[in-house]
Each structure stands twice: as C-alpha cells, then as structure tokens.
Chains A and B, each alone.
Chain A
Amino acid sequence: MVPVTFFLALGAVLFCIGLYGVLTRRHLVVVLVCIELMLNSVNINLVAFSSIGPFANITGQVFSLFIFTVAAAEAAVGLAILIALYRNRESIDVIKQDIMRW
C-alpha cells in the first residue's frame, strides 16, 4: 500500500499551488477556485489519515464531510458577493475592489 506520507506531500503541493493562485491571480472567480483547491488538499490529508494512518479511524471521513458542506456554502456566498460586486462596480479585478481599504 502507498505510505501515508505520499498523500501528505500531495496535499502540501496542492495547498501551495492554491495559495500561490490566491496571492497572485486577479480574477475573482479564479481566486475562489484556488480557495476550493486549498480546502480539497486538507480533505486529502483527513481521508488519508482516516484510511491508512497510524490510528485509522472513521472520524476523519466524517470531518471531511463537514468540510464539504462548509466549502459548498462558502462557494455559494462567495459567488453571490461576486455578482453583487460586479453589478455595483463593473469590474471583477481584485485590485479595483478597494472601497473598504484603509
């Protein structure tokens, strides 16, 4: 069977790709997509520990289900905010959304 560290390394790589995308991309939809990538890399870690970890247990899969629901709620509210922003400010450039900036 595959060692659990391989899954941890894959999760770390995906998390860092998502983080880089959030920090550098300027399209708001792409930023949301990258946040979903980061949440998914956390799920990989949870399911890997739940299945082949040293103390394999079903609890990790239960927690990953909770993360699924939180990610779905976050995406729905995020896209609603995005549509409202686009209607009011005519742009989905991250840099232009600075009305609450100090």
Chain B
Amino acid sequence: MTPQLIFFLILAVMAIACAVLVISLKKISHRIIAMAFCFFAIAGLYFLLRAEFIGIVQIIVYVGALSILFIFGMMMTDHRNVTFVPDRKRGHKILSFLGVGTLLGLMLYGISTLDFPVNEAQGGTGEEIGIQLYGHYVIAVQGVGILLLAALVGAVVLARKEAE
C-alpha cells in the first residue's frame, strides 16, 4: 500500500459515495451540496495525478461556479417537492437499473482485461498547457470562445421574459 494508493482509495470512495447521494437524497439543495463534494474529490484525484492546473480549474469552475449556478436554478423553480406523484412505473426503474448494470459490468470486464504498465505520474504545468493551447490548438480555442459567447447570449435570450 503506497501512500498514493491510500489517497486514491479515500478520494474514490468519497466521489462514489457523493455521487450516490446525488441521486438518493431527499432535498434538492442537499443533492447540489453532494454534487459539489463529489467534484471536490475529483479535483483531489487530479492533484494526485500531478495535473495541478486542471485540478484548480475544476475547483474554480465546478465547485465554485456551477454549484452556484445550480443553486440559482433551484431557487428560481419549484424546489419543495422532489418526488412527484404518480411515481414512475416500477418496470421503468428496474429496466434502467438492469441496462446500466449491464453496461457497467461490460465496461469493468473490459477494463480488467487491460494490461498497462504502471508509470510514474508526469504532470503538466500550466505553461505547457498554454503553449499547446495557443500553438497547436489555437483554432479550437477560438471556436470554444465563440461557443461560450453563443451560450452567454443564448442563456440571456432564453431566460428573459418574452417581450410583448
């Protein structure tokens, strides 16, 4: 048991437990808090992989910004009842559980047959990522910028009250 493995197990159990809480808690605000903790654990995994820049961006974007965005979305809509009546048919839940379980089993079986060498983590500093972004992927960066602008304008237009 190396220290990395112990930290990995702690963070992985925290991430999976919080993800289960997201789909099982009663109140919608508690679910969003559980989501924030799940993303925090995943950011810890990025630090474990020596990808510090991605970890910091994860904390800023997901734990900071997206949680607040979801909390605002929750507050602007009906958040008192999470369970709706009449409930979905029992067959629907069982069928989706079986389908997702089969998918998970197949993926885990496929992963267990893989045989990769165990490497030392080689991190990426922000400098290397920046050189790649503005060198090799500069057109993709421009495209993503246009996407963000379109999403900004689209969100404002969609959420605004319709003008008479």
Contacts and interface: CB of A to CB of B under 8 A. Distances in A.
A46 to B, nearest CB: 9
A47 B77 contact: no
B93 to A, nearest CB: 5
* B interface secondary structure, majority: helix
Given A5-B111, A83-B159, A30 B82 contact: yes
Contacts, number: 227
A52 B159 contact: no
Interface residues of B, number: 85
Interface residues of A, number: 73
Is chain A's interface secondary structure helix, strand, loop, or mixed overall? helix
18 contacts: A2-B5, A2-B8, A3-B116, A7-B49, A10-B16, A10-B45, A14-B15, A16-B104, A17-B20, A19-B100, A23-B99, A40-B62, A51-B50, A54-B119, A58-B132, A77-B151, A80-B155, A93-B84
Interface of A: 1-10, 12-21, 23-30, 32-34, 36-37, 40, 43-44, 47-48, 50-54, 56, 58-59, 61-62, 64-66, 68-77, 79-84, 86-87, 91-93, 95
